[in-house]
Amino acid sequence: MSTEEKVASHYTHGSLETAILQTLLADGKDIDNLRIRDLAGVDEFHLGRHAATVELARDLDLAAGLRLADIGSGLGGPARHFADAYGCTVSGIDLTEEFVRVANSLTVRCGLADQVSFQQGSALALPFESGSFDRATLIHVGMNIEDKARLFAEIRRILKPGSRFGLYEIMQMREGMLPYPMPWAMEPETSFVCSPDVYRHLLEEAGFAVEQEQDRSAMAIRLVHEARARAAAGEARDQGFRTLMGPRAGERSSNVNMSVEGGLLAPIEMIAIAV
């Protein structure tokens, strides 16, 4: 089995859409006429969740009519936000067939199918024409991709000169062994976490100029502390997100949160310009 097949298998649930819809119904949602905020607990599988997506979107200088490629689009939460809040046309791509199927279904239920679509494919061989996009995003994806040089070269290929590429990735900030399992990998075999220095170098080699960089650790830690406080007060846990995380969800979440709080890992946002 190739690394990509192992990664896709890691994220495959088997009955994810049914589980999500059952959770939404239990919360009293109209699953045939969903609003984006109805999905807040499940469709943004990254540190900082929707708050981080909002910050990234602002830094990307989005506007109506722009074409945006969301690489590793997951269940489509960020893509739907970009389209709904800014009027972009978004094309998402993800390795995991089930994620693509669920992302398209949820998008239809939110009434955004005319602006947002998803397809299965590899970030290392993007099924898009060269120079066909104004923006691109990569949100918590690079941890599963070893050949980041090829990844960034492919993203540069599909972008027009002067376009913005926003990435929001978990990066390693100091030496140390990562505690597994993590949300993106149960063991080191499919985990390829790198430092910000490596990202900057590879982006420049691919034809990007890094314009800005933000460490979003404080945001991620604050949200974790708020969730812990709600749990301590007896409020219900976020079952949608735990459904998405799958086996050993609590341990996986705890490991990444502990690593961020300890300074071993950090969620880093970078905005790069295609030169």
CATH code: domain of residue 249: 3.40.50.150
Residues 157-212: tens digit of each pLDDT = 999 999 999 999 999 999 999 999 999 999 999 999 999 999 999 999 999 999 99
**What is the helix, strand, coil percentage profile of the chain, to 5?**
45, 20, 35
* Locus of tokens 């972009």: 88
Domain that holds residue 199: 3-274
Q: Are 88 and 68 in contact (CB under 8 A)?
A: yes
Domain count, the chain: 1
Please give the pLDDT value at position 251.
Answer: 93
252: Cβ–Cβ under 8 A, 6 or more apart, which residues? 181, 182, 183, 245
pTM for this entry: 0.94
Please say if the pLDDT value at position 243 is more than 80. no
Q: Tell me how far apart the alpha carbons of residues 223 and 229 are, in angstroms, rounded to a whole number.
A: 10
> If you average pLDDT over residues 228-238, what whole number do you get?
77
- Name the more confident of 69 and 12: 69
Q: Which DSSP letter does residue 263 get?
A: T
Four-point Cα dihedral 71, 72, 74, 79, nearest 10: -10
Please say if the pLDDT value at position 237 is more than 70. no
> If you average pLDDT over residues 76-97, what whole number do you get?
97
Tell me what the pLDDT averaged over the chain comes to.
94
Q: Tell me how far apart the alpha carbons of residues 179 and 26 are, in angstroms, rounded to a whole number.
A: 34
Q: Are 174 and 145 in contact (CB under 8 A)?
A: no
50 residue type, one letter: H
Please give the pLDDT value at position 236.
Answer: 66
**H or E segment at 48?**
none
